[in-house]
Structure 1
């Protein structure tokens, strides 16, 4: 690979991320690949936006930093110009390549299409396929494999040739044979997989794609969730009519009122909070007096709290925490609190209409007369209550009742 394109940025400028989070997707003429964060940080500046094509390998595509880094000495405009200089261009043979851009201070790193690696050993930059081939064949002298890939990178074919040439030292008891496992940086949450006595099975679990891990996390959360569907029409009209309002304010007010009718906490806790993504996990902020505050005032209060208040500690969490989809994972769910997740609007068809449409299609398939069926999809959003309380279903029903009639929450 010498160049590629930016298919999609999964993070926005200014957004923080954690190690293992998906940052962007890169595409070539043969494949599309995920690029994951190697450490916690913040996406400071995107130099190559979505849709960029013919981006040269090792050219800067973004600037990432740690929380609180001083970026005043970084010449962002210069890096952007350098990116353009690094892109392939039609040039005469006599053209001299532009010099590489100056590296920024150590506190800030550049996310590139292909990380540099001068390590030609088996412990250098390797793909999961190469690492597994070494591990599965119990190669104890993997450091002697000569890489034929770019920058001396070891390819799977190099491992197979090493075995074919009889140069491999096979030792199933050697601790060194398992060492390449450390090269795999994507690891599933501890709640999703138990350690296995079968080391090769454990390795395969560690090698799962991040998208697969996210799906496993979603399934685990679904097991602990009670979900109801709420029509979007009334709520969408109110928010559209007054830009000062927000869906979050309506959800916080509905949760606060529902808590006074259905208790989720044994100690009678009726406090409500909101969670936002942070560098080390979700940060929770309490929204005081939510049950007696109008949604218009709540919308302003939510913004003020997130800007100026300190996040709550684990021992101070409210009974219900409102969070967007993806903020919580099975491993980060708070103890003793329910998480209220409001999903995005989507279309659904009633069970009766779906059954009629299916009957019509089956009749047409077996040669009968197909009857036209009028299908009217409705716009709804899912509201899920994630937690261990046996009262979750009753609480979800109360929240649905309030959000289905949002005009009652205006005062």
Structure 2
């Protein structure tokens, strides 16, 4: 009997994903462990392996399809000796959902195949509004296309992105001086910013949001709306840390390890969180989670967004081990090859924009974490050293704290501990 292949859940929180690429085609024979497809989640692209052996009878979801819900049937595998054509036609396999992409998704269903007969006319909903996906509506607005004149090829005659290709724009209305009053726009189809820009003749392109960018937008919006932030800034002298880094790198050269300033800052934040455990916490509704280990999420910029790979147990790791781990995590993050447990979790975050010359900034907390440390550039400036005004290398560090979980006084203690560890760095290596 044929077997169905369903969209897998590649992380505990995954609800939908993008079927980025098929690694097999219809008619291919596969065995257990063979790679079937590449699945893109909001943070990484992972390979999906076959569990059973057989012949790929039918691929039901085209590669590039976005918003495919977990559990959606994406392919049918015929067992050895089974009639492949029969399996492809159904063969006892449960039929895939007619519209696996939720209405709220901005993704489009794949274009209808030749054996699907498109609706002759786009059916209207009970309130006389044309059935169309959100993205199709926005593209129609941007192109000036009348959706009521477009035949929908999606499920139940729904207009999707593919239906708009080649669609002619609607005739332009009369000039404002002679035009009749336009009917009020439906509340469900507001004009997008892109369309407004086009109305004013500003050259632009419509860029579809990636899954990662959607997740970043959602999480940061939730953070600023739901988490009361408190910001605390300290100036930190770096000269002793820079001297220690130079000495350590000289000793580690034979092991091909080169420490960055960021590696030492990760260590300092890890140790500071253990010294001030009131800040190594997480707000969880009617309770608090107090962590016994400092797992530091480090912001890494990658094409299309940002990801935060985790240095697990940074408080107890040696700085050479932190450096090696960060190089590996950052490289695999940029290739989209991190496993979910390598970027989901963490007890606090560190974001360093000093390499861009940014002197000071306030970072947004990465929920559900309780704090994030924002690191500015170190530069030479007047600074009081041993009761005298001297020129020193100084950076500004700003902690953002979830005020529901962390009191201002405890946040101040953490900033003080962080500053002292950097200005007397031997202490954090002991």
TM-score, normalised with respect to structure 2: 0.39
The structure where strand makes up a greater share of residues is 2
TM-score computed with the length of structure 1 as normaliser: 0.41
Pick the structure with more helix per residue.
1
